[in-house]
Structure 1
Amino acid sequence: MSHLLTFVLCLVGFTGLALAMDRQQHDLIGRSLPGSATLALRIAGTCALLLALGVLVAWRGWGLGLVMFSGHTSLTAGIVHCTLIGCMRGYARSPKPR
């Protein structure tokens, strides 16, 4: 259960951090979000990652918890990265409105 929880928290964290970047906002939404929304996404993403770290450290201790956190963050960062690439390729292939 802790693996699933930390996986979801890391996925939410990296998604929030990715959506807080101007380039992804322009690519996915077509405009920049207000500064308050960007700040909220950054804070939510950071808090989700810190919470995932806390869950793993509480469950397995600092030694193994940090190693597991490294694995979870590597996997979820790769998933978010590949998803963004796939979205951009899909948008590039779709017909542009005139």
Structure 2
Amino acid sequence: MLSAGLLSYAGFSALCLAMDRHHQEMLGRRPSPSRKVQLRVAGWALLGLSLWISVISAGWAMGLVRWTAVLMSSAVFLVWLLPYRPRWALVLAAVGVLLGLLAAVARW
């Protein structure tokens, strides 16, 4: 479940970066329209990958329940972190992608 949690946090962070306000806070500039689309696609892809990992590891019944819990916890953590340390949220998202994919590959 660690990999699903890290990937869902990174997915929510990418969706967050697709918004003008949060992109400005974290990176200091406004995103271009093509960058917004890329971030949205990446965010939804990471959320879908975390769903796939949860379902593969625990089956459809418990996988969806665990995925919902992982989504809630990662979203709460991101919402808590954004007002206080927006740069940390960005760094943790990058680390989350790397470690999440590494943990998923190590599982198989």
What's the TM-score once normalised by structure 2's chain length? 0.73
1: CA distance, partners of 2:8 / 2:75: 8
Following TM superposition, where does structure 1 have runs of at least 4 consecutive aligned residues deviating by more than 6 angstroms? none
Q: Give, in angstroms, the shift of residue 35 of structure 1.
A: 1.0
Q: Larger relative contact order (C-alpha < 8 A, sep ≥ 6)? A: 2
Q: Give, in angstroms, the shift of residue 6 of structure 1.
A: 0.6
The aligned residue for residue 72 of structure 2 is: 74
Further displaced range: 66-75 or 20-29: 20-29
SS of the counterpart of 1:86? coil
| Structure 1: gaps (5+ residues) | 89-98
The aligned residue for residue 57 of structure 1 is: 55
| Structure 2: gaps (5+ residues) | 87-108
The aligned residue for residue 33 of structure 2 is: 35
What's the TM-score once normalised by structure 1's chain length? 0.80
Amino acid at match of 1:65: G
The aligned residue for residue 7 of structure 1 is: 5
Count of residue correspondences: 86
1: CA distance, partners of 2:61 / 2:12: 23
Q: Give, in angstroms, the shift of residue 59 of structure 1.
A: 1.3
**C-alpha RMSD over aligned residues:** 1.3
Give me the identity figure in percent: 33
The aligned residue for residue 92 of structure 1 is: none
